[in-house]
Chain A
């Protein structure tokens, strides 16, 4: 990273004031910001338990430390800088946004376009679908409204839920939300999907969303079962045995598009000999297996540890990702379909743009910071007339 350029970014572009309002949940400084832990990564050091009086003090320290990244933790019951001077138990985490973390490297077993840290617009769709599903669940089921989705800088997204009710959740409650949203098992051997029928309303709704994307995103773009070897992955998940046998002999060792294989399942199922009365149950079993596959290949994969902990730290929006140089921009869900992961503004590029036009409002970061500002203004408590009469 080029620290001179980075300094310009943190000097001119980073939205300190909006971040302050966003973390503070109000216009005048209150504990939500004053007693909030901010942690910096500076080369190899990790500086925790910092906190600031206001956006300016925060900015001054960022420029002084020039961290490679920084993160936000919980609001403490006292100022975290003073925690060592306070009696034990006097400075403990009391509030924090509820957070979600999705990372595309958790999708390695189902994406064919990229591996490891790489990501492209094809596999970014996994993230888009995850956002769609989780966003509606958090809003409709849990009643949260103040949600900010943030690109995590390389291959994932974070969600920050800042409703008052979310801030005060205890760890058991956070875990319960994470578990509710977590559908895939974690075991590498065991069955990944184990969903009781009939589907719980959240599962049923999610299935509707997944189904609408499955053909394009999985069958066509990822095409995960094209070769005969890959097709074994599909066969492994199907039953009964005679259906699997028919499909295997039909397909041989040919390369066949996944969408064709998927269609063949139904064709072959229909041709299974009717052993009296069992047609329905075979049909049900095949249907259930197909549904499970759809969940396994598309349902959001969460890093639940980030959600559970009250004192888990998470990277700030608009930080520059230290290895990609991309800015962790806030995502406007209305424009999520247009989001191009290859076009996410880089800090050096926008500094160049600024050099060229000398107009900070004309860089490609502008839309993102504007969206963030708008989001923060929308979610702050409304100014009431009475407020001005109080004193």
Chain B
């Protein structure tokens, strides 16, 4: 069916057809895909890869300790690439290959998107390389035609003491050194991690991954520029344009703070309790709103998550001060509020301290961040931290009672797909919202936004 698309991708990379199979798990994506795929696959595969990249992006910005561990579940779900036996993995490899090229089309349009795409794809590449099995990896490396010159054993022998010193070790010399122009490995030069001689950098095998990833980023960046130049030819492909734009927009969505993409309504301090009661808040924000209203408590993380959420949905700083002050009272007296909390709230608005404009958290950040340790803390994602029983009771109190929905949510939670639970809850609590959303809830602000827009469109009862 999809003849035209095939040509689109082909045209963009300007290479002529040959049959591609996938001998290695790793791919440098130098050859464009040639087989036909359906429009649905086109869209779904693009989305799935985007999810993986977004997850990596989130993990990088929140500076999680172990990147691989944090993003593994998402990769497993949306873009698995099994080790070993090629027969079973051909389908995965094909999806990996195609989805990469689909996103290229979506992200080549602006320099900013391009840079981001290269950065995230490079991270993904590194993760995969690190988890690849030894034999596969070596075969893959051998298949590459980078023409890295290998220093001869004689030369290595002659330079041994310098090579050792450059590696910062006294013993245990790697036996293979690649000789590359120093201009290819600036970050190894600047940190003096390689021996330099006559303009050549001697890169030990242990640093091969760095060499490979630079090469990969460079290739990718160059091909994206080429793709961008060729993209006007795609315009005949009417059906693809909205899909590509949607993909690009999702990437930008992540970049933009909520107040920029949001509605233009102003949310006033005295509206909040009503908004929460009208089911406009996702469960996380609802929990924080209730804790604050009934116990007058919001601990540090809750103040940040909830405070930035309120800012994100359109509350100004003056209203925020009014809102927090009245909700902390009577537990926290006015002068104590002025002394201890005023600054923090203004800080969230970029009016104090580093004056950085703080972005509201998205779901992945909230889900991967820490969860409440005691009853006083109210931050975090309830789908994650509540025990199944407690969550069920909570959902029932929100009017979600049918067995089937509850078990669907439970199974999402069991696979750590909390934002799917949240999306499901939105659907169940907004049965009249017939808008077809192309994506799941990915930020609490988006949850609010949907609900708010929907309420504005339906005449109130």
Contact = CB atoms under 8 A, between A and B. Distances in A.
Place the interface of chain B in its size category.
20 to 34
B172 interface: no
B415 interface: no
Interface string A6-20: 000000000000000
Interface stretch (B130-138, B158-166, B246-254): B158-166
B186 interface: yes
Contacts of B187: 176
A201 B199 contact: no
Interface string A187-205: 0000000001011111110
Nearest to A178: B190
Contacts, number: 58
Given A180-B192, A200-B192, A202-B192, A173 B183 contact: yes
A96 to B, nearest CB: 15
Nearest to B195: A201
Contacts of A142: 182, 196, 199
A140 B187 CA distance: 19
B165 A176 contact: no
A200 to B, nearest CB: 4
B359 interface: no
Given A176-B189, A201-B166, A140 B198 contact: yes
Contacts of A201: 162, 165-166, 195-196
A201 to B, nearest CB: 4
B166 A179 contact: no
Nearest to A163: B199
A285 interface: no
Nearest to B196: A141
Place the interface of chain A in its size category.
20 to 34
Given A198-B165, A200-B165, A201-B162, A179 B198 contact: no
Interface string B151-191: 00000000000101110111000000000001100110111
A133 to B, nearest CB: 14
Contact of B190 (A144, A180, A199): A180
B168 A179 contact: no
B279 interface: no
Given A198-B164, A198-B170, A201-B162, A175 B186 contact: yes
Nearest to A168: B183
Nearest to A171: B186
B165 A143 contact: no
Contacts of B119: none
A177 interface: yes
A143 B200 contact: yes
A165 interface: yes
B30 to A, nearest CB: 23
A169 interface: yes
A202 B196 contact: yes
Nearest to B187: A176
B91 interface: no
A140 B192 CA distance: 15
A270 B191 CA distance: 36
B197 interface: yes
A372 to B, nearest CB: 25
B452 to A, nearest CB: 41
A172 interface: yes
Contacts of B200: 143
Contacts of B162: 201
B199 A165 contact: yes
A204 B165 contact: yes
Given A142-B182, A179-B190, A199 B165 contact: yes
A203 B192 contact: yes
A242 B166 CA distance: 34
A198 B170 CA distance: 7
A201 B165 CA distance: 6
Interface in B257-281: none
A387 to B, nearest CB: 27
Contacts of B199: 141-144, 165
A143 B169 CA distance: 25
A200 B166 contact: yes
B189 A198 contact: no
A140 B162 CA distance: 13
A299 to B, nearest CB: 14
A173 B192 contact: no
Nearest to B163: A201
A145 to B, nearest CB: 10
B159 to A, nearest CB: 9
A176 B186 CA distance: 5
Contacts of A203: 192
A175 B190 contact: yes
Nearest to A143: B199
A288 to B, nearest CB: 15
Contacts of B169: 198
Contacts of B186: 172-173, 175-176
Nearest to A172: B186
Interface in B75-124: none
Contacts of A175: 186, 190
Nearest to B192: A200
A151 to B, nearest CB: 27
Given A173-B183, A201-B162, A143 B192 contact: no
Contact of B189 (A143, A165, A177, A199): A177
Contacts of A202: 192, 196
Nearest to A205: B162
B183 A169 contact: yes
A141 B192 contact: no
B213 to A, nearest CB: 15
Interface of A: 140-144, 165, 169, 172-173, 175-177, 179-180, 196, 198-204
Nearest first, the 4 closest Cβ-Cβ pairs linking A and B are: A143-B199, A176-B186, A179-B190, A141-B196
Interface of B: 162, 164-166, 168-170, 182-183, 186-187, 189-192, 195-200
Given A141-B182, A198-B164, 11 more contacts: A140-B197, A142-B199, A165-B199, A173-B183, A176-B182, A176-B187, A180-B189, A198-B169, A200-B166, A200-B168, A202-B192
9 contacts: A141-B182, A143-B198, A175-B186, A177-B189, A179-B190, A180-B192, A196-B168, A200-B192, A203-B192
